[in-house]
Structure 1
Amino acid sequence: MAQSRLERIGTVYSRISSLLKGGALKDIDKPVWYTVYEAFPPKYEPRFDREAPKTKYFDIFYKEDYLRMEFQERNKNLSTNLMDTRRKSRTQEFISIYHDMKKNGVHQDVCFQKSLDKLLEQRPTSTNRSQDTSSKSSITSSFSQEKNEKININIKDILNN
């Protein structure tokens, strides 16, 4: 057997080595990384009990990310369609409006609310959407009526064009 399955007893390298020495694993079945590991061993053996190095981490947020977070926090009901590449998302539109107002010298707190108001003016309201859905339903009903009619298509005409 390959010793214990606990990560505390040996490393993956030591387990594979013992499998190869014991004959449980053939040279043909040896993993690719094993040869690389032997050729270029790490400076420190990778063990579970070794302390992680003390490194300083940096924030990777941009100033715009905080603006996005605030916008999304205040407007949780907005949905985003990531597949629609024809137009900007509401968040992108809001940020562009915000930056335009910020260039004009509007204070940051006032700029956020004005940008939000301007975005709501640009996008259709829920009353307009209900009108849009009623017009869409009439279009789909007329389409379904056309669908029921038989259509005569000649394949030769399609292939000749």
Structure 2
Amino acid sequence: MAQSRTDRIGTIFSRMTALVRADVLHPNNLPLWYEVYKTFPPKYEPKYNRKPPTTKIQNIFYQEDLIRAKFQNDISVPIIDMKSDDVTKTQIFYTLYECLLQGGVEKEEAYEKAMISYKSIFKTYKSKKSHKSTKQSEP
């Protein structure tokens, strides 16, 4: 099968410019990004044969992300509706945890106390660890 290699000839911007110059594409039908790209071109033109940068990308982890990940690992939380403005159960847990930390409690102890408070607020919780042990014990 023969495939087109036109994507290696130039950038999408240069090809769109060529279409406008050749009167194939009317200037009123240009995509929105075209004028932005024309006004603010990138520092290095994105060509196919350009070598990728060798700079090391730094991992960004916030302390709250680690606590939330640990919480999500310990407790089975229902699916979150991203369109809803309601406070999530994970956010409630993190707020409890932050309040305990501000009260001068150690991190591990604050996590345990926040977990106990969370479980008392939401009495019907399901621990992921208990699901695994019950599934294994069933015949």
Q: TM-score range by the shorter chain?
A: 0.5 to 0.7
Aligned to 1:71: 71
Unaligned segments of structure 1, at least 5 residues: 127-161
| Corresponding residue of 1:93 | 92
1:90-129 counterparts in 2 under 5 A?
90-125=89-124
Assess, with a 3 A threshold, how the Cα gap between structure 1 residues 90 and 18 changes in structure 2: closer, same or farther: closer
Q: Which residue of 1 aligns with 2:11?
A: 11
Relative contact order: is structure 1 or structure 2 higher (C-alpha 8 Å, sep ≥ 6)?
2
- Unaligned runs of at least 5 residues, structure 2: 126-139
Percent identity of equivalent pairs: 32
Cα separation, 2, equivalents of 1:41 and 1:102:
47
Report the CA distance shift for 1:17/1:74 in structure 2 as closer, same or farther (over 3 A).
Answer: same
Partner of 1:62: 62
Instruction: Give the CA deviation at 1:100.
Output: 2.3
Q: Per the alignment, do residues 109 and 40 of structure 1 end up closer, same or farther by CA in structure 2, a change over 3 Å counting? A: closer
Normalised to the residue count of structure 2, the TM-score between the two structures is 0.60
Tell me the distance in 2 between the aligned counterparts of 1:119 and 1:66.
18
Check conservation: 1:80, 1:89, Cα contact below 8 A.
no
Per-residue Cα deviation, 1:62-83 (whole angstroms, up to 9, x for no partner)? 21121111111111x2115542
Q: 1:26 to 1:74 in 2, by over 3 A?
A: closer
Which SS does the other structure have where 1:7 is aligned?
helix
2:11 touches 2:47 (CA, 8 Å); kept in 1? yes
Corresponding residue number in structure 2 for 1:154: none
